[in-house]
Amino acid sequence: MQQISAENIISAFSACADFKKRTVRYGGGVCQVFFIEGMTDITALSRFVIEKLRQSVNISDAIDSGEISFCDVEEPDTEEKVINGILRGRAALLSVEGAYLFDMRKAEKRSVGQPDEESSVKASKDSFVEDMKVNVTLLRKKIVSADLKAKRLTIGRQTHTAVSVLYMGNIANDKLVEDVIRKLSEIDVDGIITPGVIEQNFSKNLYSFFPQILVTERPDKVAKSLLNGRCAVIADGLPIAYILPATLAQFMATPEDYSGNFIFSSVVRLLRYFLLGVEVLLPGGYVALTTFHCEMLPGKLALSIADAREGVPFPVIFEVLAMLALFEVLIEAGLHMPQSSGQAVSIVGALVVGEAAIAADLVSPAALIIVAISAICSFAMPDQEFSNALRLWRVIITVAGAALGLFGIIAGGILMLAHLAGLESFGVPYLVPFAGGVRFKIKDSLIVVPDKLNEMRPQELDVKNKRRTK
Amino acid sequence: MKIKKLLVLLLIPLVFCSCRENAQIDEMSFVKVIGIDSVSSGLRVTVGIPFPSKNDEAQNKKVESRTVQCRTLSEGMELLEASYDKKLFFGQVSAVIFGEDFARNGINDVIDFLVRSPEMRFDLPVSVVKDGTAEEIIAGNTDTVISEKIEGLLDSVKATSVSGNIKLSKLVEMLEDPFREIYLPYMTYDDVTNPEFAGYCIFNGERMNQFLTPEHSLGVSFLNNSVTNHTYVQELNGESVTLKITNSKTGIKLENGIFNIRITAKAEVLQAGDSVESFNDQTVTELCRMLDKEISETVDGTLNVLTQNKCDATPLGDCFEQSNPKAAEYGEWSEMLPRIKYTVNADTKLDISKTVQRSVKQKGNR
């Protein structure tokens, strides 16, 4: 066992004003208590550890006999473990008898609230918070089973962030679990402060716009994925969970789909796929048709568009790209403005875009309608990251349409599909079950079916227990 | 490497794309209708172009017509293009009108140009003006888009007979078929703003031969395809009964040198007097017999006109060609036409269900 020196620990925390040292006399001698102010509950430390200690002769006896029984106690064998313990809010006690870490952490945490980004009407209303333990507890409340395994790792050279890998031991493929743990272990960064760190390390193709890992703030979504045989990763300090592996079909599903009538949900989901196409292709299609293929427009529509563009000094492509850019600017401004001013951005945006720009003949109403429809479609996408990727592809396809007409649109569409077909998330093709070597399964991809009609777990995950029912 | 291959694959189709100048939609003027007439020096081409609604002149008239004289249609197009500040776009043309003189002089060259034009659509309806010029029709209808008027008229023709609306593609097919002559719908007018379709005109080769009467035009419709809406008024027991043909089908067989033409039709009663309201089997049989006779006479009269004029605007020639592998060796089909033998039989089924229900209800009310 390594000799743990109080001097070394004090030296490690030199120039840390919030690092505190207390000397305590007890029956058997003198010991030193170290902790970080603000992270450790000092009242509890004084009352349940120091007070009890003063009355004791031997520290280990006091712990064993239950005199000091208020909290978990660890006996670290290295200085590094002691330092890590202190950094996590534990109180370290060093005496001639040895070193002890008392879990006296003061919990400053947000209470579980409603999801901000993924709201629903009938599905559960809880969402993850920044505390990993609370998040794991939320899942344990939904899956009351010892088969829900939670392996814990520490990531970040400086931050030492605790990360949990959750999976159903009797369902998930072992190789997938091993892969997830291996990838997490390979993460070599200073710290996990933002969600992007884990996302980037899990993404096979870093240069893709599309998210290759599903991020959610909803415990019910994670629970459903775990029951399907997927893995989840929860990092301390992040109010989200990562679901692995991710496929396109998952990005098009919402928990609400499983909360109501399955026929209605199926129609809505099909509509969502249609809207995906509209979002990506509509602005490009408009540019291509009005610039190259006017003969394809119905006569009255062509005249109406030509009428509307009368007096507009810019080409259609410039008009559409400018409107798309303005739309992005409005979204960005709305995100960064204080909530009280957010409304003002919308009003100014609507006035500037909707009224003044048309009145000044800077844009035509037709282009505005096209961009607005496309924008509304992008809001219908359940996942923000996925929607962002589609918005970027929309610009590429619009430019292709302006350069090459319908050929450009088709080429852009093929390029996007080829790119999607090339993506993988932990060995699972992104376009599963529409492509990727598994049998096309319409259930739970294009349409929603009741659980009793959807007996099999996803084929692509190669789970241990393939049937949901007996 | 994969990306390079993909890019190459995507760029290959570019080789097959014909590049043409693109233009902004507002920099184009959409030609909605083209009219072609004959003049001594060649052709007179008239186009109808809708005004943009923001244009001041649009307050007074909706369409601008412009006419040029030229030797060929392509030259006419170029002259028109040169006279406009905007690019003339022919992809939105929705009607082509031929003047009577032009149709009589031959339409081949113009059809050839229209078909070759990269902008022109193949589903353009083509029609002829009787006793007038295409220019008069287009220039006389500036308060409305004449093509829309013609489209509306052609829709009513189409509602009468499936074969009524002749598109450019169909016209080309007929031009290329040695066993079939062209027929086109023609319009007449007393008031130029109110033209109406009167029937079909038939061609000998590329030149128009004659205008058929409405009755003979109906016969052409019966022979070519389904008549979907035509009313006959018959006299029964001293009272008028209005019958409507709702559908018809024609089968032609060449047996022992005789064309057996069999027309099966469905009809319903539109209006009938009190004495014939209680339809019994005898009444129905009698009405069907009357309709059969009417249809047979119509078709027979039409065939008589067509064969005498050596214009086969019916599927008889196709039937002859299919029945005789060496049909081409017999010589010109048009020369054989006056000598062909044919029989016409009609078989009509009368639907009386609606009429009987109405009759019972009326009796109940009494």
Q: What does the DSSP assignment read for A308-363?
A: HHTT--S-HHHHHHHHHHHHHHHHHHHHHS-HHHHHHHHHHHIIIIIIIHHHTTSS
More confident residue, A371 or B229: A371
A181 touches chain B (CB under 8 A): no
Pairing of strands B42-50, B63-70: antiparallel
Structure tokens that stand for A237 in this block: 């300090």
A·B CB contacts under 8 A:
65
Separation of alpha carbons A434 and A447, rounded Å: 12
State phi, psi for A278 to the nearest 5 degrees: -65, -45
- Is A297 in contact with A366 (CB distance < 8 Å)? no
Q: Contacts of residue A416 in chain B, CB cutoff 8 Å?
A: none
Give the pLDDT score at B71: 93
- Is B105 in contact with B38 (CB distance < 8 Å)? yes
A316 touches chain B (CB under 8 A): yes
Is residue A87 classed exposed, middle or buried when 0-12, 13-18 and 19+ CB atoms within 10 A define those classes?
middle
Report H helices in chain B: 2-16, 73-83, 100-105, 108-116, 134-139, 146-160, 168-176, 214-224, 281-308, 316-323, 333-336, 353-365
Interface with chain B: mutation pick from A309, A399, A417, highest number of B CBs within 10 Å? A309
Q: Is the pLDDT of residue B260 over 90?
A: yes
Is residue B45 classed exposed, middle or buried when 0-12, 13-18 and 19+ CB atoms within 10 A define those classes?
buried
Q: Do A291 and B25 touch (CB under 8 A)?
A: yes
Torsion A377-A379-A380-A386 (CA) sign: positive
Q: H/E element holding B310?
A: none
Separation of alpha carbons A156 and A162, rounded Å: 9
Q: Contacts of residue A299 in chain B, CB cutoff 8 Å?
A: 30, 32, 92, 94, 147
Separation of alpha carbons A62 and A31, rounded Å: 14
Give the pLDDT score at B358: 47
Give the pLDDT score at A128: 93
- Those residues whose C-beta lies under 8 Å from the C-beta of residue A191, and which sit 6 or more positions away, are A156, A157, A158, A159, A161, A197
Separation of alpha carbons B222 and B243, rounded Å: 16
More confident residue, B292 or B27: B292
A360 touches chain B (CB under 8 A): no
Q: Contacts of residue B13 in chain A, CB cutoff 8 Å?
A: 407, 411
Give the pLDDT score at B56: 58
* Residue B182: C-alpha distances to residues B91, B172, B210 (Å): 25, 9, 11
B357 Cα to chain A: minimum distance (Å)? 41
- The closest of B119, B122, B120 to B21, measured between CA atoms, is B119
Separation of alpha carbons B343 and B347, rounded Å: 13
Residues in B lying within 8 Å of A, measured between beta carbons: 2, 6, 10, 13-14, 17, 22-26, 28, 30, 32, 50, 52-55, 89, 91-92, 94, 119, 121, 147
* Residue A196: C-alpha distances to residues A135, A186, A189, A203, A267 (Å): 19, 16, 12, 10, 33
Q: Give strand pairing partners of B97.
A: B35, B127
Q: What's the pLDDT tens digit per position in B76-130?
A: 999 998 988 888 999 889 889 999 999 999 999 899 999 988 888 888 889 999 9
Is residue A292 classed exposed, middle or buried when 0-12, 13-18 and 19+ CB atoms within 10 A define those classes?
buried
* Residue B254: C-alpha distances to residues B174, B250, B307, B308 (Å): 21, 13, 16, 20
Q: Is the pLDDT of residue B361 over 50?
A: no
More confident residue, B7 or A218: A218
A313 Cα to chain B: minimum distance (Å)? 10
Q: Give the position of tokens 């692509």.
A: A460
Provide Rg for chain B, Cα atoms. Answer: 25
Q: Is the pLDDT of residue B44 over 90?
A: yes
Give the pLDDT score at A52: 82
Separation of alpha carbons A459 and A444, rounded Å: 12
Give the pLDDT score at A420: 94
- Is B345 in contact with B296 (CB distance < 8 Å)? yes
Give the pLDDT score at B18: 44
- Those residues whose C-beta lies under 8 Å from the C-beta of residue A230, and which sit 6 or more positions away, are A167, A172, A176, A243, A244, A245, A461
- The closest of B349, B347, B365 to B357, measured between CA atoms, is B365
A153 touches chain B (CB under 8 A): no
Q: Do B25 and A418 touch (CB under 8 A)?
A: no
- The closest of B209, B191, B187 to B199, measured between CA atoms, is B187
- The closest of A2, A451, A401 to A227, measured between CA atoms, is A451
A84 touches chain B (CB under 8 A): no
Q: Which chain A residue's Cα is nearest to B53?
A: A307
Q: Contacts of residue A315 in chain B, CB cutoff 8 Å?
A: 24
Q: Contacts of residue A307 in chain B, CB cutoff 8 Å?
A: 52-54
CA atoms lying within 13 Å on the CB side of residue A166: 28
State phi, psi for B241 to the nearest 5 degrees: -125, 125
- Which of A290, A295, A302 lies at the smallest CB-CB distance from B119? A295
A107 touches chain B (CB under 8 A): no
Of A457-461, B58-62, B188-192, B201-205, the poorest mean pLDDT is in B58-62
Q: Residue A460 in 3-state DSSP?
A: helix
Separation of alpha carbons A378 and A390, rounded Å: 8
- Which of B25, B52, B147 lies at the smallest CB-CB distance from A316? B25
Separation of alpha carbons B94 and B31, rounded Å: 9
Give the pLDDT score at B364: 46
Q: Give strand pairing partners of A359.
A: none
Separation of alpha carbons A441 and A420, rounded Å: 18
- The closest of B220, B279, B214 to B250, measured between CA atoms, is B220
Q: Residue A383 in 3-state DSSP?
A: coil
- Those residues whose C-beta lies under 8 Å from the C-beta of residue B260, and which sit 6 or more positions away, are B252, B253, B254, B342, B343, B345
- Those residues whose C-beta lies under 8 Å from the C-beta of residue A36, and which sit 6 or more positions away, are A16, A18, A19, A20, A86, A87, A89
Q: Do A306 and B2 touch (CB under 8 A)?
A: no
Q: Which chain B residue's Cα is nearest to A306?
A: B26
Tens of pLDDT, residue by residue, chain A (470 residues): 557 888 899 999 888 888 999 888 887 788 889 999 888 888 888 888 888 888 887 888 888 877 776 678 888 888 888 998 898 888 998 888 888 898 888 766 778 888 888 888 888 888 999 989 899 999 999 999 999 999 999 898 888 899 999 999 999 999 999 999 999 999 999 988 888 888 888 888 888 999 999 999 999 999 999 999 999 999 999 999 999 999 999 999 988 888 889 999 999 999 999 999 999 999 999 999 999 888 889 888 888 898 888 888 899 999 999 999 988 888 888 777 777 676 777 777 777 777 788 888 888 999 999 999 999 999 999 998 999 999 999 999 999 999 889 989 999 999 999 999 999 999 999 998 888 877 777 888 889 988 888 888 888 888 998 888 77
Structure tokens that stand for A204 in this block: 């096979």
- Is B113 in contact with B73 (CB distance < 8 Å)? yes
A294 touches chain B (CB under 8 A): yes
Q: Is the pLDDT of residue B145 over 50?
A: yes
Give the pLDDT score at B57: 58
Beta strands in A43-84 (DSSP E): 73-74
Q: Residue B250 in 3-state DSSP?
A: strand
In the DSSP assignment, the letter for residue A405 is T
Give the pLDDT score at A250: 92
Q: Is the pLDDT of residue B282 over 90?
A: no
Give the pLDDT score at A70: 63
Q: Contacts of residue B6 in chain A, CB cutoff 8 Å?
A: 415, 418
Q: Residue A115 in 3-state DSSP?
A: coil
A440 Cα to chain B: minimum distance (Å)? 25
Q: Which chain B residue's Cα is nearest to A291?
A: B24
